[in-house]
Amino acid sequence: KVIVKLDLKNLSGKKQLCKFSLWAENKNHKSNKLVKEISLSENKEIIIEYPMGENPLLWDEFNPNVYTMHLQLESKEGTFSRRIDFGMREFKANGTRFEINGRPIFLRGTLECAIFPKTGYPATDVDEWSRIFKVIKAHGLNHMRFHSWCPPEAAFIAADKAGIYLQVECSSWANQGSSLGDNKPIDKWLYKEAGQILNDYGNHPSFCMMAYGNEPGGKNQGKYLNEFVSHWKGKDSRRVYTGGAGW
């Protein structure tokens, strides 16, 4: 099943009776449409469990099945619709091994250090990231770590289609002039940045791992990162989390 969380806003100033419809599909499978009537007098969050059926198509490096969730809200004020891509997969740690959909996985990866000398900035189009992932797959790789940064959404879209397991980081390397757990502005900023990353890109099945960043520093870093990891594991368990990479 899929847990659909809706943040609905009523700007009309009056009570609205709405019809909400959602259905999931990809090129090989279409699930049934679910329709609900919603009475909306003010802004509110609604959580809906959407059944994917007995045998949904799973996502991994060999079969990167991507679904599109269609959402439609109708009222007297008009119709609003949205489409969101997602995948059905379970990526987790089992002892000292990672598993994808219940099977052991061996990550064969490379770093992406935001080195784009021809433009001076990371590619923001899906075609270029598809080219990059095609190159690493040709070398037998299935994983990419974004060293101390988070890529644009185009990278997630391309990785979803290519079946690449991504490790994303919160754009920090706090050991030269900065530190963690010492009540500096970075402590709060990292929570805000992580929340934004998960909110914007969390539905992408390729987003399998997340870290605060690289090589943490500070005498209180251990306590801070333990709490950081526990916080996000409790908020969104769809991926694995670690404190810092590099050490």
The DSSP code sequence of 133-192 is: HHHHHHTT--EEEETTS---HHHHHHHHHHT-EEEEE-S--TTSS--SSSS-HHHHHHHH
CA atoms within 13 Å, Cβ hemisphere of 50: 27
Q: Which residue, 202, 168, 164, is CA-closest to 60?
A: 164
Structure tokens given for 60: 């991994």
CA atoms within 13 Å, Cβ hemisphere of 202: 20
- CB-CB contact of 109 with 145 (8 Å): yes
Q: Is 221 helix (H, G, I), strand (E, B) or coil?
A: helix
Confidence at residue 128, expressed as pLDDT on a 0 to 100 scale: 97
* Number of other residues whose CB lies within 10 A of the CB of residue 69: 18
Q: What is the DSSP string of 185-215?
A: HHHHHHHHHHHHHHHHHTT-TTEEEEEEEES
- Tell me the pLDDT of the chain (247 aa) as tens digits: 999 998 888 888 888 899 999 999 998 888 889 999 988 888 888 899 999 988 899 999 999 999 999 999 998 888 999 999 999 999 999 999 999 999 999 999 999 999 999 999 999 999 999 999 999 999 999 999 999 999 999 999 999 999 999 999 998 999 888 999 999 999 999 999 999 999 999 999 999 999 999 999 999 999 999 999 999 999 999 999 999 987 6
**How far is CA 103 from each of CA 90, 91, 99, 215, 237, rounded to the nearest angstrom?**
10, 9, 5, 30, 18
* Number of other residues whose CB lies within 10 A of the CB of residue 210: 25
Structure tokens given for 181: 């757990």
Confidence at residue 247, expressed as pLDDT on a 0 to 100 scale: 60
Confidence at residue 110, expressed as pLDDT on a 0 to 100 scale: 97
Cα Rg of the chain, angstroms: 20
